[in-house]
Amino acid sequence: MATLVKKFGGSSVATPEKMHGIVDRILRERQPDDRIVLVVSAMGDHTDDLLTLAAKVNPEMPKRELDMLLATGEQVSIALMASAFCAKGQPAVSFTGAQAGIKTNDKHSKASILDVQACQVKQALDEGKIVIVAGFQGITDLGQITTLGRGGSDTSAVALAAALHADRCQIFTDVEGVYTADPRKVRNTRKLEEITFDEMLELASLGAQVLNNRSVELAKKYNVELEVLSSLNPIPGTVVKEVTKMEGMLIKGVAKDTDVAVITILNVPDEPGTSFKIFGLLAQKNINVDIILQSTGRDGKKDISFTCSEGEADTALRVLKESGKFQDVTCDETCAKVSIVGAGMQSHSGVASKMFEALSNNNINIKMISTSEIKISCIIDRNDADKAVSAIHDMLFD
């Protein structure tokens, strides 16, 4: 007997026909004693349609009310999916995030899961029912409906898998697993048989869109074995787990992120406490900073550059200038970040030089560099991002 949590995204449940296809596949692959929980997203582009509707009513809709609106999308999906199972003679029941016991904090539109009290889910599984849970949503201790942000259904699925001590959490997508690069844009990519949590977390954080990075963090914390696989082709996918084969691939993937802005503060006093003043201001506004570059001090002054998401760049500029301490501030929103990830880099030299050689051969300039034990990231011009990923992939994998 196995307990399995299976997550299906919006494109997988976009039509009644696709829903029936999921039902047929699950009933066909299910073992007699399997306990199955489905976590589903809103149908197709329904969430985007709701956002468009909200903007027409109030462009600055309160986040609490926006959560109330967006949470209805998943409720449509779960009711239809449960009914589709019942139509095939399989008992099933749908639960909202609140009914499934997903408790969150009160940060509307980007809530974090605090606990999962899945009493109703466990009871329904004990009764032999297939359970369908609304992803992307939860409830506070005060009964307020919240949503988890984009990709939140992945996080919902992992949280439920952890609470149920599931044997595996399967994330069904429109690709057949995790690849060494985006197979739709890069030639000769390879599907990975398995990858570690740390490597997957880096790839997810660096722009790979297969898994939500919050879901990988949660899976690592509670040691939930993940599998990324195709919602269309019934073939094995990529397993994400704590430990993989001892002798594996040196590099697991090449990723890009175009949601990058580089902010530079010129002529900063070269004295103790300056960096704290800068990044303390940003932290107060919950602005996430990634790569930081500081020039060598000269004439009592230095320059500091850092990257953040493009959506937070305007806020960062405003905060720094309004402080009255940093007036000479510029922002470059024409950048992208390309990265390579692989635990094998820790014990192999020459990987960075190959990455830089690939960029040099294609006349791509590097603006900033960041490294860790399992990744190397370069900030480059955004127009060169796709070319850079292909060049690096060719250099490392061909």
Strands 113-116 and 102-104: antiparallel
CA distances from 4 to 28, 111, 125 (A): 15, 25, 11
The whole-angstrom separation of Cα 149 and Cα 136 is: 7
Q: What rounded mean pLDDT belongs to the chain? A: 91
Confidence band, pLDDT 50/70/90 cuts, at residue 248: low
Do 197 and 220 contact (CB within 8 A), yes or no? yes
pLDDT in tens, 216-245: 999 999 999 999 998 888 899 999 988 666
Task: State whether residue 63 is helix, strand or coil.
Answer: helix
Any idea what DSSP says for residue 316? H
The dihedral region occupied by 377, where left means phi > 0, alpha psi between -120 and 50, and beta the remainder, is beta
Q: Hey, which residues does 179 pair with through a beta bridge? A: 191
pLDDT of 247 higher than 80: no
- pLDDT band for position 246 (cuts 50, 70, 90): very low
Q: Residue 51: its pLDDT value, please?
A: 94
More confident residue, 248 or 29: 29
pLDDT class for 326, splitting at 50, 70, 90? confident
